[in-house]
Amino acid sequence: MVIRTLAAAGLLALAAAPAFALTQTLTFDSFASGDVVTTEGIAAFSTETGASLRALAIDFGTSAPNVLGAYNAGGGLDGFLPLYVDFSVGVSNLTFSSVGDDDVGAVATINVFTDGVFNAAVALVVDGVYENFQSHDLSAYSNITRLEIVDITDGGGLGYDDFSFTYGETSDVPLPAGAALLLTGLAALGLKRRS
C-alpha cells in the first residue's frame, strides 16, 4: 500500500519533471569547401532536382570558414535556387543566418511547416550589408519540421549559415528504463521502511 502510494507520487513527479531539450547549431564548417551537403545534425538540406548545395568557403567573419550555397545543374553558384530544410524531429527556438545580401528589405519568403503541415509564410528581411550575417528568428514557432526559402530576389542571391535550434522537448526518456529505475528506487525505499 505504501509502495503503491509512493509509486503513484513518483510517476506524477516524473510526469511533472521539467522537459529537457538538446541544442544543435549547424555551421557547415566540418565540410571541405566544395563538398556537397545533404545532411548535418538532424537536418536534411535540399534544393531543386539536379542542383546541389555545397559548403562554400567565403569568410564573412562570423562562422568561418563555410557557408551553405546552392549550385545549379551546370555547376555554377546560384543563390536564387530555393533551399529546403527538413528536420527529422520537430525543432523550436530556430534561428539561422543569411549571407551575401545586396538589397534592403524583404528579399525572400520563408515557408514554415510545423508538425508536418504548412504554418506560415515569413518575409526574409535583410539590411543590404553584404559582409554581415543577417540573423532570422523563427522562435515564435514550435515543432518546426520543414523550412522552405523561396522566391529569392536579392541581387546575386543568398547563402546561409548557422541553423540553431532545440529539439526533444517533449520526452526523450525511454519510459520502460525510467519506470524500472523508479521501481528499483521504490523497492529499496520499501525495504528500508520494513527494516
Does the protein bind Ca ion through residue 27 (CB under 5 A)?
A: yes
Does the protein bind Ca ion through residue 29 (CB under 5 A)?
A: yes
In this structure, the strands spanning 105-114 and 144-150 are antiparallel
Instruction: Specify the stretch interacting with Ca ion by CB under 5 A; choose among 33-41, 53-61, 100-108, 187-195.
Output: 100-108
**CB closer to Ca ion, 42 vs 182:** 42
Q: How many residues bind Ca ion (CB under 5 A)?
A: 10
| Binding residue (CB under 5 A) for Ca ion from 71, 152, 161, 165 | 161
Closest CA to 124 of 136, 114, 112: 136
Does the protein bind Ca ion through residue 156 (CB under 5 A)?
A: yes
32-71 binders of Ca ion (CB under 5 A): 63, 66
CB 81, min distance to Ca ion, A: 13
Q: CB 66: neighbour CB atoms within 10 A?
A: 24
CB 114, min distance to Ca ion, A: 26
Closest CA to 60 of 30, 32, 97: 97
What are the backbone angles phi and psi of residue 181, rounded to the nearest 5°? -60, -45
Q: Write the CA distances from 35 to 26, 67, 162, 163, integer angstroms.
A: 15, 11, 17, 18
| Binding residue (CB under 5 A) for Ca ion from 154, 159, 160, 167 | 154
In the structure grid, which three cell numbers stand for residue 175, read together?
Answer: 519510459
Q: Which residues bind Ca ion (CB under 5 A)?
A: 27-29, 63, 66, 100, 102, 154, 156, 161
